[in-house]
Amino acid sequence: MRASDSADAQHLLQWIQTRRGIEGFVEPRTAVNDVTLLLVAHDGEWTRRRVPSVAWAHAFANKHQIPSYDAAVVGVPQRMREYNRRKKAEGR
């Protein structure tokens, strides 16, 4: 498993600076993946990166005034699934 690094944090920061209506979904560590922060914009566009901890993810979101949720509790938003379907259909 690759640990998070400064490039991950930099990507998240750059991503939020160019989108609007962002919410954060903190995904817990699993047997396969480390803790990740999933960011979803108003239109469903999304990005995911490894982060150092659950606390770091929520602190990052709070610092940038982004609502954050525990993904294991609330799941991911429908707009993200719709975005993925649109992108898949465009690829045909």
Residue 5 pLDDT class (50, 70, 90 cuts): confident
Residue 1 pLDDT > 60: no
Q: What is the CA radius of gyration of the chain?
A: 13
- Say whether 82 sits in a helix, a strand or coil: helix
CB 19, CB 67: distance < 8 Å: no
| Burial call 51-75: b when 16+ CB within 10 Å, e when fewer | bbebeebbebbeeeebebbebeeee
Residue 91 pLDDT class (50, 70, 90 cuts): confident
Taking the model in full, what pTM does it have?
0.92
Residue 78 pLDDT > 80: yes
Summarised one tens digit per residue, pLDDT across range 15-72 is 999 999 999 999 999 888 899 999 999 999 999 999 999 999 999 999 999 999 999 9
